[in-house]
Amino acid sequence: MSETIDTKVLLKEITEAIQEKKGKGIVIADLTKLGNTICDYFVICNGNSPTQVSAITDSVEYMVKKATGYRPIAIDGLRNAQWVAMDYGEVLVHIFMPETREFYDIDHLWADAKLEIIPDLD
């Protein structure tokens, strides 16, 4: 795999992988117009149980690798599965339990970012 990946393809694969495991509340925060950010995009979602959070994490890792050959640089938070962060360089994926997402409220920490809300699938 080459060092660069089409970010739009990466975001599409991540979103589909989350939806595959019935992840909810998907928000893509576009940070490209903001200065001094650690990445270009956040993808934020939640699962309803630690098991679902882990399943979403596995789905993202598998589907992105299958479609692009790209692996996350790091995955953190799987032990408790309350908040898992997946680092894809230009994209950080945050998979939360609902209460943890509400507590940290990272959706609103980046109020200046352009937010794209992805409708939940039923």
Helix (H, G, I), strand (E, B) or coil at 85: strand
This prediction has a pTM of 0.92
How far apart are the C-alpha atoms of 54 and 2, rounded to whole Å? Answer: 28
Task: Convert the pLDDT of each residue in 64-115 to its tens digit.
Answer: 999 999 999 999 999 999 999 999 999 999 999 999 999 999 988 887 899 9
Amino acid letter, 51: T
Exposed, middle or buried: residue 97 (CB in 10 Å: 0-12, 13-18, 19+)?
buried
Q: Hey, where are the domains in the chain?
A: 7-109
pLDDT tier, 2 (very low <50, low <70, confident <90, very high otherwise): very low
Q: What is the pLDDT of residue 3?
A: 43
CB 11 within 8 Å of CB 43: yes
**pLDDT over 70 at 1, yes or no:** no
Looking at CATH, the fold of the domain delimited by 7-109 is given as Beta Polymerase; domain 2 (3.30.460)
